């Protein structure tokens, strides 16, 4: 029992942090490609707003969250909790994205949700 608990508390190595970042970036890129296709195929947005820019901004926001999370919290969470804690962290600071981006159609927020859902499913 003690050994199992010990394994759950081991911090991520630099290599594992890089793999974590790469994994999240791959998810971001796949969601961006899909969502840009969706907004490009739409005849027009409900509001007439530039949803293409919002998708790109949302993806950039999540990628910045990865950098900030790894820099500030790499030693605070066990490997087994890292993905889930990243999702919580991103949700908590998502308000920063909302403050900086006018998102009348919810495309930016939806893109962040799509990314976080894919992260949940992938881990």
pLDDT band for 4, please (50, 70, 90 cuts): very low
24-77 pLDDT, tens digit each? 999 999 999 999 998 876 655 565 668 899 999 999 999 999 999 999 998 888
Q: Report pLDDT for 2.
A: 35
Residues 6+ apart with CB under 8 A from 79: 8, 10, 11, 12, 16
User: Is the distance from CB of 78 to CB of 10 less than 8 angstroms?
Assistant: yes
H-assigned helices in 1-123: 2-9, 14-41, 51-73, 82-100, 107-122
Q: Report pLDDT for 7.
A: 43
Query: What long-range pairs does 114-117 form, CB within 8 A, spacing at least 24?
Result: 114/31, 114/34, 114/35, 115/24, 115/27, 115/28, 115/31, 115/58, 115/59, 115/62, 116/62, 116/87, 116/90, 116/91
Total-model pTM: 0.85
Lowest mean pLDDT among 10-14, 20-24, 73-77, 110-114: 10-14
Q: Report pLDDT for 39.
A: 84
Q: Report pLDDT for 6.
A: 37
């Amino acid at each position: 029992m003690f050994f199992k608990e010990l394994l759950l508390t081991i911090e991520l190595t630099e290599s594992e942090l890089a793999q974590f970042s790469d994994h999240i970036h791959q998810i971001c890129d796949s969601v961006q490609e899909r969502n840009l296709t969706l907004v490009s195929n739409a005849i027009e947005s409900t509001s007439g707003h530039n949803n293409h820019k919002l998708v790109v901004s949302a993806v950039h926001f999540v990628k910045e969250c990865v950098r900030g999370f790894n820099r500030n919290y790499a030693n605070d969470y066990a490997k087994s909790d890292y993905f889930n804690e990243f999702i919580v962290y991103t949700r908590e600071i998502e308000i920063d994205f909302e403050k900086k981006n006018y998102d009348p159609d919810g495309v930016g927020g939806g893109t962040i949700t799509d990314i976080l859902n894919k992260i949940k499913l992938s881990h």
